[in-house]
A and B are shown apart, each in its own frame.
Chain A
Amino acid sequence: MSAGTPPLSAPPPKPQVRALNCPKCGAGITLRAFGQAETVVCESCRCILDAKDPNLAILQQFEIKTSDVQPLIPLGTRGKLRGTDYEVIGFERRHSTLEGITYPWHEYVLFNPYKGFRYLSEYNGHWNDISICKELPMVGGGMLSGTSASPNYLGEVYAHFQTSDANTDFVLGEFPWQVRVGERAVVTDYVHPPRVLSSEKMDKEVTWSVGEYMYGREIWDTFKLPGSAPEAEGVYENQPSPVTTNVKGIWAIFILFAILLAGLMMGFDFTARKEQVFEQTYHWERATALGESSFVTDVFELKGGPSTVQVKSWAPVSNEWLYLNYALINQDTGRAWDFGREISYYSGYDSDGSWSEGSRNDTVVIPSVPSGHYYLRIEPEVDPAVRAISYSVQLTRDVPVFGIYGIAVVALLLPPLLISFRWYTFERSRWSESDHPPMQISGLNVNSEDDD
C-alpha cells in the first residue's frame, strides 16, 4: 500500500426505513420498502405520493378525505408465509359492479427485502395468498384470455370463473406500482381449487397472478392478530371443497359391491335347497267344526343346518277372510314357532272402476329353524259369513330371502349418495357466484349454458 492512499470510503449504508413528511399536510410518512415502492399514501390526508422522489411529489390528492376503511391486518404487521417473513406495507379496497350491485374486496401488499412482494386478498372472509406468475400460463394458442379459455399453469388446468372490472377506491401505505384511486382494470379469474389464476389488464399491460386459498384462522395465526377472523360467507371461487374424497371413486366401489351382492344373491339362490317338505289341503265346515278347531299335522323332517322355512297359505276367499294360527313344533325339543296369518281378499266396483284389496295367497318365512322332526299345529278362524271353505298349506325348506339384499343395497347406497349430495351442494354454491351459474332446475349438471 503506497503512502497517500485516501481512506477507503464507507461501505454502502445499510438500507434504512425512512421517515419523511407529507408535502401536503406535514404528517409523518414511513417508507418501509427500502426504495422499492413506487407510491406511498399519506395516512393523514390520504394523498398519493411518489415514493421514489426524495421530495415525495404529490401524484393524486383529494379535497374531501375518502371514507375510512380499516385494514384487518394493520400496516407494519409481520407474518411468516411459506417460510418467509413478510411485512404488510400497503392496503387497498377495490370493487366491481355487476347489475348495479357493488362488490368490494380488499388487497394487502406484503414485502420482504430478499423475496420481494406478495399479496393477500380478502372478500367476505375468504382469503387468498397471491403472487405474480413468473412463468406465463399456456392459454390455447396464444396469451389471450376469454371465457372459453382454459389456461394451463404449472401442470394444472383452470376453468373460467368470472370476468369483471376492478376499481380502486381506497389506498393506504406503499405500493410497488403507480396506484391511483379510480384506476380500473379488467380482471379474469380462472379456478382450480384451491388455486386461482387471475389475469389483470390495466391499460395495455396484462399481469398474471396465482393465488392460493387461505382460511381466516390461518391468517389470524400467521399474523398473530387478536380476536378471531370474520366468518366467511358463502363459498368462494377457489375455496377447497370439504369433500376431499374422489366421489367417482366411491361410486365405482359401490358398483363393485353391487356386483358382489348380485353374485351372492345368485350364489345363494342356486345353492338353496328349496325342498317342499309338506303340502296339504283342508276343508273346513262350520257345521262339523268343533269348539276348538285346532289340529296337528303329521310329522315331517327338516334337513340341513339352521335355515328358513317358508309357509305358504292359500284359500279361495272372496270378500271374506280366513285367519290361520300356526305353530311349527319340533317333536323332540319342544321348541315352537308361533304365528298367525290372515288371508283376505275383497273386490268390487265403485265410481272409479273396479278395485281389489288383499290376496288369496300368503307367504311367511320362519328364520333359522334347526334341522329335526317337526309338525304343524293349525287352528283356523273363519269369517262368520263363511259356511265352508277349503285352504291349503305348503312348507318349503331353505328358501333364500331376497328382502335382505334390498336392505343391503340401500345401506350401500347411503354413503355415496351422502357424499355426492355434499359435493353437489358445495359446488353449486361455488358456481352460483360465477359467470356460469348452475340452472335453477337441473339434474346433476353443475353448469348451465354460458351467459355472456
Chain B
Amino acid sequence: MTQPAANCPNCGAKIVFRWSSSVQTVCEYCKSILVRTDVDLKKVGQVADLPPDGSPIQLNTEGLYRGKSFVVVGRIVYEYDQGAWNEWHAMMNDGTSAWLSDAQQEYAVSFPSKGPHLPASTNIDVGQQFTWDGQRYTVSVITPAHYRGVEGELPFQYWDKTDVTFIDLRSETGKFATLDYSDPEPALYLGEFVEFEQLKLKNLRSFEGW
C-alpha cells in the first residue's frame, strides 16, 4: 500500500495518507481540511475544535471485525437534539472502508451498500419496512442532525454540511441500516450492532481513574 507524502498547503506540515484511496484528511497541526487532487492537496475548509466527548475510540485504535483487523483512520462527528455521536472511519486490512459508529457506547459496524432505488427522506415514516440483502428492516428513528466536525482520513469529501437527515432502521436479528441524506443521492449503509468485547479494541483512549 503506497503512502504518498505531501505537505499541508496551509502550514507546510508533513501529511501522510495511510489509505491510498483517501480523498480528504485533516492537518493535525493547523486543522485545515485538505482534499486530495491528482496533483496536490487543496485546503477546502477549517475544523473548529471538536466537542469533548467520551468515546473510548481514537485515531489509530485497532480492532477486529469478523476476522479482519482494522485501524481507525478518521472520524465524522454529528450532533442532534439529544447529543452527539461519532462515525469512525475504519480501514480494514483488505483495503475496504468501514464505519464504526459509537453512540453512547452503543457500537455498530456498517459498510456502504448499493440499494435499489432509495426513496426520498420525506416519503419515509417510522415503522415502515424495507428489505435489503434478504433482510427485513423497520424504520426506528428519523434523526435530523448536523455535521459538527471531522478528523483524520475520509473516503469522500465531507465538511460544512448543514442539516442532514439520518434514517435508522433495525432488524429483529441485531442488524441495522442507515439511510444517509447528506448528499442529494441517499446513501445506504448496512451493518450490525456489536459488543465492545467483540471488537477486541486496542490503543483506546485512557480515562482518568479508569
- Chain A residues near B (Cβ < 8 Å): 1-2, 4-6, 8-9, 12, 14-17, 32-36, 38, 52, 85, 112-117, 132, 134-136, 138, 142-143, 176, 178
A35, B138: Cβ atoms closer than 8 Å: no
| In-complex Cβ contact of A14 among B12, B28, B174, B208 (8 A) | B208
Candidates A2, A5, A15; contact of B54 at CB < 8 Å: A15
Q: Pick the contact of B104: A15, A116, A143 (CB < 8 A).
A: A116
Task: Please measure, in the bound complex, the distance between the C-alpha atom of A114 and the C-alpha atom of B205, giving whole angstroms.
Answer: 9
Give the residue of A6, A17, A176 whose beta carbon is less than 8 angstroms from that of B208: A17
Chain B residue contacts of A17, Cβ below 8 A: 208-209
Please, how many angstroms separate the alpha-carbon atoms of A5 and B209 in the complex?
35
Describe A's contact surface by its main secondary structure: loop
Contacts of B127 in A (CB 8 A): 142-143
Cβ of A79 to closest chain B Cβ, rounded Å:
14
A-B contact pairs, 30 of them (CB 8 A): A1-B14, A2-B7, A2-B14, A5-B11, A5-B29, A6-B11, A6-B13, A8-B29, A9-B28, A9-B29, A12-B205, A14-B206, A14-B207, A15-B205, A16-B208, A17-B209, A33-B54, A34-B52, A34-B207, A36-B53, A36-B54, A112-B105, A112-B210, A113-B54, A114-B204, A114-B210, A115-B105, A132-B106, A136-B138, A143-B127
A176–B140 Cα distance when bound, in Å, is 20
Q: Is the CB of A117 within 8 A of B104?
A: yes
Tell me if B172 and A136 are in contact (CB < 8 A): yes
Q: Determine if B148 is an interface residue (Cβ-Cβ < 8 Å).
A: no
Could you count the A-B residue pairs with CB atoms below 8 Å apart for me: how many are there? 89
Which of B14, B105, B173 is within 8 Å of A5, CB to CB? B14
Contact residues in A for B209 (Cβ distance below 8 Å): 17, 32
| Inter-subunit contact A35/B52 (CB<8 Å) | yes
Q: How far is the CA of A2 from the CA of B204 in the complex (A)?
A: 31
Q: Which residue of A lies closest to B103 (CB)?
A: A116
Residues of A within 8 A of B51 (CB): 35
Residues of A within 8 A of B193 (CB): 134-135
B146 within 8 A of partner (CB):
no
Interchain CB contact under 8 A, A134 and B29:
no
Chain B binding surface SS class: loop
Residue of B whose beta carbon sits closest to that of A132: B106
Q: Mark B1-17, 1 if CB is under 8 A from A, else 0.
A: 00000010001111000
A178 to chain B: closest CB distance in Å? 8
Q: How far is the CB of A63 from chain B (nearest CB, A)?
A: 29
Alpha-carbon separation in the docked complex, A15 to B172 (Å): 36
What is the CA–CA distance of A134 and B30 in the complex, to the nearest angstrom? 39
Give the CA-CA distance A143 to B127 in the complex, in Å. Answer: 9
Q: How far is the CB of B135 from chain A (nearest CB, A)?
A: 13
Establish whether residues B104 and A176, one from each chain, have CB atoms under 8 Å apart when the complex forms: yes
Residue B170 interfacial (CB < 8 Å)? yes
B residues contacting A by CB (< 8 A) are: 7, 11-14, 28-30, 51-54, 56, 58, 82-83, 104-106, 127, 138, 140, 170, 172-174, 193, 196, 204-210
CB distance from A199 to the nearest CB of B (A): 14
- Checking A4, A38, A113, A135 against B174 with a beta-carbon cut-off of 8 angstroms, the contacting residue is A135
Q: How far is the CB of A417 from chain B (nearest CB, A)?
A: 43
Nearest to A2 among chain B residues (CB) is B12
CA distance A105 to B117 in the complex (A): 50
Which of B11, B58, B83, B210 sits near A113, CB closer than 8 Å?
Answer: B210
Which single member of B56, B83, B196, B208 contacts A52 (CB below 8 Å)?
A: B83
Given A5-B12, A5-B14, A134-B106, A34:B29 Cβ within 8 A: no
Across the interface, which residues of A come within 8 angstroms of B82, CB to CB?
A: 38, 178
Q: How far is the CB of B50 from chain A (nearest CB, A)?
A: 8
Query: Least Cβ distance of A174 to chain B in Å?
Result: 12
Which of chain A's residues has its CB closest to B208's CB? A16
Asked if residues A114 and B56 are in contact (CB atoms below 8 Å), the reply is yes
Could you tell me if A12 and B58 are in contact, using CB atoms closer than 8 angstroms? yes
State the CA gap A38–B205 with chains docked (Å): 21
Question: Chain B residues near A112 (CB, 8 Å)?
Answer: 105, 210
Q: A114–B105 contact, CB under 8 A?
A: yes
C-alpha spacing A36/B56, complex, angstroms: 11
Query: A5–B53 contact, CB under 8 A?
Result: no
Write the chain B residue with the least CB distance to A113.
B207
In the assembled complex, the CB of B143 is this many whole angstroms from the nearest CB of chain A, namely: 12
Chain B residues with Cβ under 8 A from A6's Cβ?
11, 13, 29-30
Tell me which of B13, B105, B140, B207 contacts A15 (CB under 8 A).
Answer: B207
Are the C-beta atoms of A35 and B173 separated by less than 8 Å?
Answer: no
